[in-house]
Structure formats: structure tokens, C-alpha cells
Amino acid sequence: MTKLAIFAAGCFWGIEERFLSHHGVLDTEVGYIGGITNEPTYHDVCSGETGHAEAVRVKFDENVVSYEELVCLFFEIHDPTTLNRQGPDIGTQYRSEIFCLDDDQYLIADAMKRKFNKEIYNDKIVSSITMAGNFWIAEEYHQKYVRKKKNMIF
């Protein structure tokens, strides 16, 4: 069965590639979520005034990979202890957040956050877990960016 999940963990280029390369992931789209502006552009989001996060929407086969496994991957591929920042990228658009599409996803994400916070991150996780609103697909040149620029390393 095909399902969707949405994660924000810094610049969406590298995060998209990490999810897209994971077994059971069928496709990804990068975009913007969690803000106040309808149909935001990359320029709008980079201003920091829309409230949107750069995010990746993951289409996955739940018979191959579970949502729980994707949440684990989310916590492993970025630093969930830095507020509004990943590496050199600074701003609310680079925040760490899981956008849940239903109550089951929320419960799983919350349980996994508590587990990782206790067992690995010493109660320092700043990642938010919220119910998803509108997901605005980013401009085409952002989609599968790492694969378009094969010489980039993430």
C-alpha cells in the first residue's frame, strides 16, 4: 500500500536524496509547508517571512518500509538538536519538523521522538511534530536536485 509522509530537516536537496535512496521509498517531492503564504516561492520562503519550512514529501510502500522506519531515518540524517539550523543553513525554513498526515503518524512520530530524545540525544531534540497543512510543491529546478547535479556530495 502506498502512503505519504512529510519531513523538514534543513535544506531539502540533501534530505530528499537520503529519503529517495532508502529502500521502499517510491518517490519524493520537495516543497514548502507550515507557513502562512499560499503558493510560496523559494524566494518567499528564503525571506523567512512566510513561516514555511523546506520539506520533502515521501511516497513509500508500507509493505516494504514502515512509517516508523522513515521517522528513524529522519532523526539519523540530520541534527535534531539545532533550532532553525542545519549546518551553514540558518533560518526558520531550515527547522526540524515532522508534519503528520493522520493521528497514527502523529502517535508514531511522538513515540519515536521521545525514544530518540531519551536514548541518544539527552533530551536536546528541538524537532516539532505537527499536523500537516498545505504542502506547496517547490519549483521544478529543486526537484531531485542532487541527481540533477551528480557531482554534488551530501
Neighbours of 107 (CB within 10 A): 12
CA separation for the pair 15, 150 (Å, rounded): 15
Set 11, 46, 72, 100: catalytic member: 11
Is 11 assigned a catalytic role? yes
One DSSP character per residue, 86-140 reads ETTEESGGG-EEEEESSHHHHHHHHHHHHHHHHHTSTT----EEEE---EEEPPG
Q: Parallel, antiparallel, or unpaired for β 85-86 and 89-90?
A: antiparallel
Residue 150 DSSP code: T
C-alpha cell at 153: 556530495
| Active site positions, annotated | 11
